[in-house]
Amino acid sequence: MSTRTTASEKLRANLQRVLVDLIDLHVQGKQAHWNVTGRGFRSLHLQLDELVDIARAESDVIAERMRALQVVPDGRTETVAATTDLTAYPADLVSVTDTVDAIVARITQTVAVVREVHSDVDAEDPATADLLNNIVTELEQQAWFFNSQNLEV
């Protein structure tokens, strides 16, 4: 009797989608980190590295979970570029205010995908759904932190 858990095609596709978006969020966060400019640059520059660290760590968690479920994760550049749900990041310098807006938008896009696949993942593998819950919690907190920089009371 085998105790190996094998993911269905649907679970594989859902986890691959989350993986790609987390990898892209990580890469876009670095692009923003290198090219943010203006008043408040330093604090945002450092804050972007926190987001990058979260996206990178969570992409690793998802990829390793995929392997535990006998799925081969695909984080190759061409796969990420062809299948990401995220809007492309500008190639130029971006102001602090516009960087905040752009990064919040990409975090929101990533969270939307995680929430979209959550029910199907939970139906097949509640343990993996718990990992998705953690991703949502961390990214929504980051969105709040970033968005708070552009809000005035």
Q: What is the pLDDT along the chain (153 residues), one digit of tens a residue?
A: 445 578 999 999 999 999 999 999 999 999 999 999 999 999 999 999 999 999 999 999 999 999 999 999 999 999 999 999 999 999 999 999 999 999 999 999 999 999 999 999 999 999 999 999 999 999 999 999 999 988 877
Q: In the prediction, which pLDDT does 1 show?
A: 40
* 8 Å CB contact between 28 and 86: yes
Q: In the prediction, which pLDDT does 4 show?
A: 58
What pTM value is reported for the model? 0.95
Alpha carbon of residue 72 to chain centroid: 19
Q: In the prediction, which pLDDT does 151 show?
A: 80
3-state secondary structure 45-83: HHHHHHHHHHHHHHHHHHHHHHHHCCCCCCCCHHHHHHH
Q: In the prediction, which pLDDT does 2 show?
A: 45
Buried b / exposed e over 20-58, threshold 16 CB at 10 Å, is bbbbbbbbbbbbbbeebeeebeeebbebbeebbebbbeb
- What gap in Å lies between CA 23 and CA 80, rounded to an integer? 7
Q: In the prediction, which pLDDT does 110 show?
A: 98
